[in-house]
Amino acid sequence: MTGQRSDARRNYRRILAVAEAEVAAHGAEASQEQIARTAGVGSATVRRHFPTRRALLEAVFQERVAGLCERAHRLSTAEDGRTALLEWFHAFVRYAVSARGFAHVLSYEPPAENPSPKSCGSVIEAAATPLLQRAVRDKAVAPHVTFHDLLTLAVGIALATEHHTNPDVQADRLFRLAVEGLSPD
């Protein structure tokens, strides 16, 4: 936003604040027109700052994604690689369940040859991959497990539980099932 006029910066901040509230209330399908009306700007102004729905959603979740990345960096020095990965992954799943629309943003992110380096998925992948690699090196996670496997599990759990009465409880149950597997051992 550097180099923008002060009114453009103000509009950006106001649109983002309104978008955060609308996405929290309505998820990924929040109306861009409603966001514009509530922010007191035209829909063209919203689209100038956020040319696509995905760009708007990415901006809404940027701060929380930074928190997940910070947590991954902190955990990278933990003694046990498996515990560190699972602690981070559980936090990731919990956030995906609690933040309406976040799973939808991540579901836009299939593995690609040239992913956008600033997308939520790419930023999280860069932060979490060292945790996964360490757990694989420690033989605590199977070598064929990829970050996109973890991303798919988190998105799947979030989307599968979003309409449950207690999505957190159901998500925690599915998380444990994914980690422990189906076998009784």
SS3 for the chain is CCCCCHHHHHHHHHHHHHHHHHHHHHHHHCCHHHHHHHHCCCHHHHHHHCCCHHHHHHHHHHHHHHHHHHHHHHHCCCCCHHHHHHHHHHHHHHHHHHCCCHHHHHHCCCCCCCCCCCCHHHHHHHHHHHHHHHHHHCCCCCCCCCHHHHHHHHHHHHHHHCCCCCHHHHHHHHHHHHHHCCCCC
At 176, the pLDDT band (50, 70, 90 cuts) reads: very high
Say whether pLDDT at 1 is over 80: no
What mean pLDDT comes out for the span 139-159?
94
Report pTM.
Answer: 0.84
Predicted local distance difference test score (pLDDT) of residue 76: 94
Predicted local distance difference test score (pLDDT) of residue 110: 56
